[in-house]
Structure 1
Amino acid sequence: MISSQLKLKGDKVIWIVVFLLSLFSFLSIYSAGSNLQWTYGKISAFALLLRHAMHVLMGWLIIWMLHNIHYRYFAPVSVILLVPAVILLLYTLSQGYTIGNANASRWIQIPMLGITIQSSVIAGLVLMVYLARTLSKRENPAEWTFKMVFWQILAPIFLVCGLIFPANFSTAAIIFAQAVLLMIIAPFPNKYVFYTIGAIAAGLALFIAAVVTFPDLMPNRVDTWKARIENFINGDADNNYQVERSKMAIANGGLLGTGPGKSTQKYFLPQSSSDFIFSIITEEYGFVGAVSVLFLYFLLLVRFLMVATRAKSLFGSLLVVAAGFGIIIQALINMGVAVNLLPVTGQTLPLLSAGGSSIWTICAAIGIVQSVSRYSTENLNEDDKSSDDKAAVSNQTTETHEQEANEIYA
């Protein structure tokens, strides 16, 4: 019984990809983490590696625990956790603190455990599961009324994204994009999707007008956003130290890279173990290594799509999109920033970057996907077994009838 529970179930390819990314992250973290000791002198690369190992082990434990829970139980849990998640965001916005040069209050510390957590990623996952649950309750788009849409869909989205937005614009944008994707995929009236996009556009316009009118409203964050967007639009990477060093690291990599641990830009590139770890990977493992990482994320996307299509319920399909697709979007954004295709956002590379709550949240999302995969597959096997039993009974009945007929005619 115990050995059956310890066995990893679900999509095997997802298990393999997650294992490969987790294993490769140790090489990348140990190498990229050297700049922390070089720059700050507070933590060695080996200490960072040990801390990362603890985070990864905890992440795998989260995956294993969640994939053993039937995914239908995540629906009521998301409703229960939504209010605490909003309270956590409020607390972070008022009492949070910065790490490194983040220039925003994104983290809160739990003194008893000695850890820090980023509340936005936790609240984002809770919101996505809640939306999957709410959108799957009505399979007929005509059943939705404006009042229902406003209170059950729009209000939670705007509340969570609005509380994340001041300190972490990119995370708020990703969560909103995921929410819109869910509404498009679900049996949901298209007009409300356009209303949602229009409302967020109007909100951004009002925010920009308020910032222009009151420049001291959010001086640090607004100046950072403005500088990043202007530098990106003007193609002026020289005014962005991070982008400049990132491009130098990628250029040094060439086809096969400089070799594991032989990056030179890791000593100069800020956030080399988190936000810009893809640049260090490309420098040390070259174009081949970068394409291999991209392929693994593409493989994850394909398997997520397969799990979503195999799900036995609408909630299961939407749950895979809600939990899994955010990982792929975040990975593409991180790599896009590293190669200067997108403005600097501060998004980590899932399963490869250092971090605590970010790794655990991503692992929680993978555990949810594996739960859908596991129980959908088991249901399919039960259906096949039931069909085989019915066929066997039918064949036995036919043979009995034939034997009786032969005896009669004899």
Structure 2
Amino acid sequence: MSNFVQKYIKGDQVMWGIIVFLALVSLLTVYSATGSLAYKTQGGNTTHFMFKQLFFLLFGISLIIVVHRIPYKYFVFFSLPLLYVSIILLLITVLSGQNLNEASRWLTVPGIGLSFQPSEVAKLGLVLYVSRVLAQHQRDDGPTEGAFWPIIIHTAVVCLLIFPENLSTSLLLGGIIMLMMFLGRVPFRHLFFTGLTGTAIVAIVLLLAMNDVVIVDRAETWASRFEDYMDDEQEMSKFGGDYQITQSKIAIATGGVLGKGPGNSDQRNFLPHPYSDFIYAIIAEEFGFFGALLVLVAYFIFFTRIGVLVSSSNRTFPAFMVLGLGIMLVAQAFLNMGVAVGIFPVTGQPLPLVSMGGTSIVFTCLALGAILSVSRHYQEEREQQNAKVQNSENQ
């Protein structure tokens, strides 16, 4: 086993440890949280979803191993084809997507019945493309002028295609691209007016929906969630407020410091999607404050390792790629956890590598593989340099 790890598992070992830890948390929590779903859909076979999740996790970790062995320079060539394929898939989804959980975000592969979310493909493709464009336009003597329009046109197309059925993903992706452009020295005036325009569009859609003028099918749901979020605690207690957030807070509160123990959650029977959108509440209920804190710290440590990797990079494309993919995963994690504790409105974002869902796990692992590819490359460079120093000293 140790020989396998030394030969095939390269790159940041702390990141690898976090991946294994989150995968174990996922298995335990998904097994517990899917009990009611198993009785409804699988005739009481409570291990069905756990083994399904295990399959996706093992497949995902295998992807990480394969992808992190690929030299990161090849991701430059994949970026544009992957982006255009994702745009085509998003167009197909808008026209004939499968409706699951009251949103048409899914496509089903004909013949095998496998469903996936094209928005996950788009997130990966767009971040790689933006990294490529920013790297190509970097200058030592001034701002990155030429990168803005190629980036903003492709970002607008992707985000507008995602927007009608998945506001949170559209805003999250748009925000990450804006941050990447800011750090890539794109002139601030461009970013300011772009951000102002995007905010105005979302605000207008929500305000119209609050006044019963619906121009996007899911706008009423977004407006309702926003109104529930803005209600104070007294109103929520009196009128019931948002059911999901209420049940999530009950789960967290009753978990206490040490939790009820694995498999002993009560709120899994009342909380909608306890195995995906609100899995962090089940973690807090079963493993307590310390268990939930440990998961939070794991993502925070992952974020710090991203920072170390970016700061040590001496090339622009891998630095931007690691930055974009890393922030995307961490921001999604913090958003999911923030929703569970009531900091943010309900968004429907899964907890990366923990929530049940094949699409999320596969594309999370592809992103992790790309990040670890950069880490592996720099690790091998350091080993080669150290070997040269030792050889020169021996001579």
Which whole-Å CA distance do the structure 2 matches of 1:268 and 1:213 have between them? 31
8 Å contact from structure 1 (residues 256, 286) kept in 2:
yes
Give, in whole Å, the separation in 1 of the partners of 2:333 and 2:214.
Answer: 33
Partner residue of 1:105?
104
| Unaligned runs of at least 5 residues, structure 2 | none
Pick closer, same or farther for the CA change 1:206–1:56 going to 2, 3 Å.
Answer: same
Deviation at 1:251, TM superposition (A): 1.2
Give unpaired runs (5+ residues) of structure 1.
394-410
Cα–Cα, structure 1 residues 277 and 380, in superposed 2: closer, same or farther, change >3 Å? Answer: same
Displacement of 1:188 after TM fit?
A: 2.5
1:66–1:367 Cα contact (<8 Å) kept: yes
Closer, same or farther: CA 109–269 of 1 in aligned 2, 3 Å: same
Q: Is the 8 A contact 2:205 2:215 kept in 1?
A: no
Equivalent residue, structure 2, for 1:230 = 227
Tell whether the 8 Å contact from 1:32 to 1:280 is kept in structure 2 after alignment: yes
Give how far 1:386 is off: 3.5
Residue identity matched to 2:148: V
The Cα of 1:243 is off from its aligned counterpart by: 1.0
Decide whether aligned partners of structure 1 residues 5 and 81 sit closer, same or farther in structure 2, where only a CA change above 3 A counts.
Answer: farther
**Alignment of structure 1 residues 215-254 onto 2, 5 Å:** 215-219=213-217, 221-235=218-232, 236-237=235-236, 238-254=240-256
Closer, same or farther: CA 277–4 of 1 in aligned 2, 3 Å:
closer
Contact 2:208 / 2:214 at 8 angstroms: preserved in 1? no
Distance 1:196 1:376 in 2: 35
Query: How much has 1:296 moved relative to structure 2?
Result: 0.8
Q: Tell me which of 301, 304, 317 is aligned to 1:302.
A: 304
**Number of matched pairs:** 387
Task: Measure the CA separation in 1 of the matches of 2:47 and 2:273.
Answer: 17
Rounded Cα–Cα distance in structure 2 between residues aligned with 1:205 and 1:234: 18
Indicate how the Cα distance of structure 1 residues 48 and 374 shifts in structure 2: closer, same or farther if over 3 A, else same.
same
Deviation at 1:98, TM superposition (A): 2.2
CA-CA distance at 1:365 after TM superposition: 0.8
Selected match of 2:355 from 334, 337, 353:
353
Shift of 1:122: 1.5
1:115 equivalent in alignment to 2:114: yes
1:106 is paired with a residue whose SS is strand
Q: Deviations over 1:48-81 (max 9, x none)?
A: 1111111111101110111000111101101111
**Cα deviation, residue 314, structure 1:** 1.3
Match of 1:96 in 2: 97
Deviation at 1:199?
A: 2.9
| TM norm structure 2 | 0.92
Alignment match, 2:136: 137
Letter in 1 for 2:193: Y
Inter-CA distance 252–143: structure 2 relative to 1 (3 Å threshold): closer
Which amino acid letter does the alignment assign opposite residue 8 of structure 1? I
Measured in 2, the distance between the counterparts of 1:243 and 1:187 equals: 39
Encode CA deviations 1:340-388: one digit per residue, 9 max, x unaligned: 1110000111111100110111111110110010001212222333344
Q: Does the Cα contact within 8 Å between 2:209 and 2:223 map onto a contact in 1?
A: no
CA RMSD of superposed structures (Å): 2.2
SS of the equivalent of 1:98 reads: strand
How many angstroms does 1:206 deviate by?
A: 5.3
- Structure-2 change in CA distance of 1:358 and 1:263 (3 Å): same
Q: Is the 8 A contact 1:274 1:348 kept in 2?
A: yes
What secondary structure, in the 3-state scheme, does the structure 1 residue paired with 2:75 have?
helix
Task: Return the offset for 1:270.
Answer: 0.9
Secondary structure (helix, strand or coil) at the match of 2:261 reads coil
Cα distance in 1 for partners of 2:94, 2:324 equals 25
Residue in 2 aligned with 1:402?
none
Match in the other structure for 2:71? 70
**Is the alpha carbon distance of 1:212 and 1:333 closer, same or farther for their aligned partners in structure 2, counting shifts above 3 Å?**
closer
1:209 CA displacement = 7.0
Higher Rg of the two aligned structures: 1
Measured in 2, the distance between the counterparts of 1:356 and 1:4 equals 25
Distance of 1:31 and 1:193 partners within structure 2: 45
Question: 2: distance between equivalents of 1:206 and 1:229?
Answer: 13
The answer for the alignment partner of 1:403 in structure 2 is none
Secondary structure of the equivalent of 2:314? coil
Return closer, same or farther for 1:348/1:4 CA change in 2, 3 Å cut-off.
Answer: closer
The one-letter code of the counterpart of 1:317 is: A
Residues 1:127 and 2:93 aligned together: no
**1:319-334 equivalent positions in 2, closer than 5 A:** 319-334=321-336
- Partner residue of 1:398? none
Rate the CA distance shift 1:208–1:273 in 2: closer, same or farther, 3 A: closer
8 Å Cα contact 2:251-2:285 kept in structure 1? yes
1:17 matched to 2:18? The reply is yes
1:110 offset after TM fit, Å?
A: 1.1
User: TM-score, normalization: structure 1?
Assistant: 0.89
Assess if the C-alpha contact under 8 Å between 2:76 and 2:129 holds in 1.
yes
Q: How far is 1:214 from its partner?
A: 8.1
Q: Give the CA deviation at 1:115.
A: 1.5
CA contact (8 A) 1:297 1:331 kept: yes
What does 1:24-43 align with in structure 2 at a 5 Å threshold?
24-39=25-40
Q: Determine which of 171, 176, 182 is the counterpart of 2:180.
A: 182
SS in 1 for 2:275: coil
After superposition, residues 250-399 of structure 1 pair within 5 angstroms as 250-389=252-391
Q: Deviations over 1:246-293 (max 9, x none)?
A: 111111101111111001111111101000011111111111111111
Identity %: 35
CA contact (8 A) 2:210 2:220 kept: no
For 1:371 and 1:79, the matched residues in 2 are separated by 19
Q: Which residue in the other structure is 2:87 paired with?
A: 86
Amino acid at match of 2:186: F
Q: Is the 8 A contact 2:325 2:371 kept in 1?
A: yes
Rounded Cα–Cα distance in structure 2 between residues aligned with 1:357 and 1:68 = 22
CA contact (8 A) 1:278 1:338 kept: yes
Q: How many angstroms apart in 2 are the aligned matches of 1:338 and 1:179?
A: 25
